[in-house]
Every structure is written in C-alpha cells, then in structure tokens.
Amino acid sequence: MVKIKVWYIQAAAYFLLLLPTSLFIIGWIRPLIAIPATALLLFSWVLILLNARKTQSAVFEISVKAIVFVSIVLLLWCYFAGQGGFYYQSSDHNYRNAIFRDLVAFRWPVVYDQTGCSLVYYIGYWLVPASIGKVANLFFSFDTAWIVANIALFLWSFVYLFFVSLLVFIYIKADSFKKIVLAMIFLVFFSGMDIIGLLSALRFDVTAIPNHLEWWSLTYQYSSNTTQLFWVYNQSTPVWLATALFANEKSVRNYVFLCLIILICSSIPAVGLFLFLFVVGVQKLIPFIHSKQVPCFLKEVFSVQNIVAAILLLPIYYLYFKTNQTVSDNPFHFNLYAEAFGWGFAIFRYLSFCLVEFGILSIILFRENRNNILYWISIVSLCCVGAFSIGSTTDFAMRASIPALFVLMLLTIRTLYGSIRLKAVDGQRCVCIREVGIAIAIIFIIGTATPITEYCRAANAVLVQTQSSLVADDVKTLSDKPVTGNQNFLAGNYKESNFYKYLQKQS
C-alpha cells in the first residue's frame, strides 16, 4: 500500500490550479504589477500548504494495483477524448486547437496585428502545455514544437484527472480496490438519462437516434462527464478539480482563493462553484453566531489568501473578460425560450428536462442525503441555472451546471457504497444491495447510453475514415479571422479597453 498524506494531495491540487493563473499574469500583465502579484499568489499558496499541514493529519492509502488501474483508465479516457490529437476529436476542437496553436506561436499577450484584434477567452488550461511548446520552438521547428505541445496537453490533462480522482476517492472514502474501480466507472460514465428524454421526443422511434444525445430538449443541455471531456475539457477539468478540493475543505479560509484562481480556465463553471462556496459559507457561519464567535469566522473568511485573490484577481479578470463584446451584448438574463414555444409548453419542457437529467436520481438520493447541504445546493442549482443565459449561446446552463453535477455524482457514489452490505448466510459471505442501490444502478446504466454514444460516434468516424488520428483543426489560427462570427474568442478595438490601457503588457 502507498500511503499519501492528504495535505500533500490538496497542496499539489491547489498548485495545479494556480499555475495557469500565474502564467496568465506573467504573460499578459505589465511586469510592474505582474511580478508582485505572482509573488503574492505563490505566498498565498504557501500559506494554504502550511495550514493544511497543520490541520490535516489524515493519510490516504492506495495500492499500487489501484494506482496502475486508475492511470490506465485516465490515459485511455484522455486518448479517446482526443486530447493531444492522437484520436478522433469532436468538432469543438477546431477552435480549441486554433487557440492552443496561437498560444504556442504568438507572443503573449496574443494580439493579431493583421486584424487589429486580441485573443480574449478562458485560455488558462492551455498555458502550461503552450509554454512547453514555446520552449520546444526555441530549439526545433514549429511543427515539432506543436507535437511537443500536444503531448504536453495530453499529459497535463492526465495529471489533472489523476488528482481529481484522488480527491474523489478521499471524499467518498474509497478504501478498497473494488470501491476505487466503482468510483472510476462512475467518473467516466456518469450522466443524466438523456436516452429517455430523446426517445420520448422521438416518440420512441429508435431508428431516429442521433450520434449525440444531449440536445434532446433542443435548447437545454446538462453534459455528462465524458461529453465534457470530449467537447469542453479546457473548462470542465479545472472545475472538477476545484469542486473536488472544495468537497474536502473543512473551513472557509480558502474559498475565495479557490473560486477565483479558476476564472481564467473555467469562468462560467466558477459561477456554479461560487453558489456552493457561498451557501456552505453561510451554513458554517451559523454555529459561530450561536456561540457568539463571529470574529473567529470572519478571521477565516478574511484570510490572507482570500484577500490577496480578491484584490488581485477580481479586477484583472473583470477587465480582461469585459474586453470581449459577446457578454456585453448579451447580458445575463432569464430565458425559458417562451417566445419560441409559448409559456405553457416551455415550462412543461423545462420541468421534463430537469426530471430526466437529475430529478429522478435526486428523489432516490433524498432519504440518505436530506440532511446534507451539498445535496440541496446541487438540486436548487440544477433547477435554476438551466433557465438562465449569458452571451449568445446556451453555454451558461451547460457550464455553470458542472459543479452541481459533479457533486451529485459524489453523493450518488457515497449513497451506493452505503447501500451495499456483506452478510453471512449459511456460513457464506453474500453481497446484499438495498433498494436505493438497485435504483441508483438502474438509473446509472440508463445514463451510460450518453457517454457510450460519444465513444461510438468517435469509433464510427475512425472506421469510416480508416485512420485513428482525426484531428479537428480546420480553423488553424484566429490571426486572420474577423471579430464578426468569432466574438467568443476575439476582441476588436481592444486598445480602447481599460484592460489594455492600465494592465496589459505592451508589446
């Protein structure tokens, strides 16, 4: 057995999340601000490390066999999701590869002189592998550096997912190889019951089932874990790690820091995580009020790391993302698409969507989790975020829901563990599963249709094209693209923005 102190894992996870933010500040912000800001953020991480060392004495034990198993599963998951371009890639990779390539090829901050635009997007996840690609480009051709960068991206995703898995094991108390195997199965295949919604919409015509199930409600989507890794890995993977860290946190002293350091990677998912941090923070305040020790609570809230993150990162990211016109032109608003469907059908459709995606599972989990605040935040969050939009697409519902879906998965695994018992019958040990466990298993198996369809779609493309590396890389670069049609990624007239005037490093 390999024994790992939990605070080692937590400190490493925080560093993985902090690294993209540090690289962004160094690469985009003027040195007079960037150098002390980076130093303060690293100092904050050291404080988190020292506090975790002092307060966290738990040790996580995992066998070598389990480490090998988890590593193989995660490497295969990254491979089949198209990480690094070694296998089929979903169409969203066309723009993601273009952004990644520009981060390797262009000087930071990325500015396109040809069009007078700048790159403004949640680019954080690519900054570490892009840095490695830049170093390679100093010694080799760009084609070779691009290969190196993609290998680095593949390994970067693996490392992130490995620490996500470790924190999941710690939270659900996976203390045996069998529990770890079960947890990995859930991590890869957890999903809403999209197939039920799709078959209902198609009037159970199985011949009309498409190769991507999650748009069955036409305007709403809550994505399975595998779908997220196939399509929006740059947003989902960091917030999975942050949510897993949050689930294992004991106090609020790192809450603000945790939420803000992921903004450059997962800006919309961070909104969903903030809901958890805020509500749990209020819950933790109540005992301090009853014991008249509110100053002690405030001391935790206003920790050095929280204050540093708030003072430094909030204004930087606010001004940076404000440069992008998509959000400014389409502000946050309530949207059930009643104009298109009528209020009656719109409400019915949304309630049906909620029931299929998480409602039935939530009902089954109620008895064992009714006293768990995380359960209630997940349900309320998932009931609400789908009814709101920001920007020109439905990205808010799809991405702000990620933390709640991840927490719901954690609670589902824990509840399933609790439903399994070993009993001695006639001198033999038998595995007994309570009704709640059977119900969870049925819902989970139905939900696996969604990730399985993703794998089948990829495998079918490989068979049809008779090659495994089907890289989605048609866009190539954003350097010659106009703002119109590319508002999600580009900022025109960026020199007029306050970010450029006061913060951005001048080329």
Give me the helix-helix angle, 177-189 and 142-172, nearest 10°.
Answer: 120
What is the full DSSP assignment across 13-24?
A: HHHHHHHHHHHH
Q: Among 109, 324, 347, 108, which Cα is nearest to 217's?
A: 347
Could you tell me if 152 and 132 are in contact, meaning their C-beta atoms sit under 8 angstroms apart? yes
Residue % of the chain over a pLDDT of 70: 95
How many Å apart are CA 264 and CA 24, to the nearest integer? 8
Q: What is the mean pLDDT of the chain?
A: 92
| Residue 207 pLDDT class (50, 70, 90 cuts) | low
One-letter identity of residue 343: W
Question: What tokens does 72 get?
Answer: 């193989």
Question: What tokens does 177 get?
Answer: 């190889």
- Is residue 340 one of the residues assigned to a domain? yes
Side-by-side strand order, sheet with 111-112: 111-112, 117-119, 490-492
* Chain segment 256-271, per-residue pLDDT in tens: 999 999 999 999 999 9
Start-to-end CA span in the chain (Å): 52
One-letter identity of residue 137: N
DSSP H/E element including 6 = helix 6-28
Predicted local confidence at residue 427, as pLDDT? 63
Q: Among 384, 389, 368, which Cα is nearest to 279's?
A: 384
Q: Beta 420-425 vs 388-389: how paired, if at all?
A: unpaired
Q: Quote the domain boundaries for residue 425.
A: 2-502
Predicted local confidence at residue 492, as pLDDT? 87
Q: Beta 117-119 vs 490-492: how paired, if at all?
A: antiparallel
One-letter identity of residue 497: S
Question: What tokens does 250 get?
Answer: 């004991």
Q: Once rounded to an integer, what is the mean pLDDT over residues 423-435?
A: 74
Q: Among 289, 60, 278, 285, which Cα is nearest to 176's?
A: 60
| Residue 425 pLDDT class (50, 70, 90 cuts) | low
Using the predicted structure, report yes or no on whether residue 428 has a pLDDT greater than 80.
no
List phi, psi (to 5°) of 136: -65, -35
- Is residue 494 one of the residues assigned to a domain? yes
Give pTM, 2 decimals.
0.96
List the beta strands (DSSP E) in 200-298: none
Predicted local confidence at residue 120, as pLDDT? 96
Count Cβ atoms below 10 Å from residue 159 Cβ, excluding itself: 16
- Is residue 507 one of the residues assigned to a domain? no
Residue 114 vs residue 427, higher pLDDT:
114
Query: Three-class SS of residue 258?
Result: helix
Looking at the structure of the chain, the number of domains it has is 1
* Chain segment 313-346, per-residue pLDDT in tens: 999 999 999 998 766 566 677 878 777 778 888 8
How many Å apart are CA 146 and CA 446, to the nearest integer? 40
- Is residue 390 one of the residues assigned to a domain? yes
- Is residue 407 one of the residues assigned to a domain? yes
- Is residue 191 one of the residues assigned to a domain? yes
What is the full DSSP assignment across 41-62?
A: HHHHHHHHHHHHHHH---EEEE
Could you tell me if 396 and 388 are in contact, meaning their C-beta atoms sit under 8 angstroms apart? yes
* Chain segment 373-415, per-residue pLDDT in tens: 999 999 999 999 988 887 656 788 899 999 999 999 999 999 9
Predicted local confidence at residue 107, as pLDDT? 96
Query: Three-class SS of residue 145?
Result: helix
How many Å apart are CA 482 and CA 488, to the nearest integer? 12
* Chain segment 25-77, per-residue pLDDT in tens: 999 999 999 999 999 999 999 999 999 998 888 999 999 999 999 999 999 99
Predicted local confidence at residue 204, as pLDDT? 63
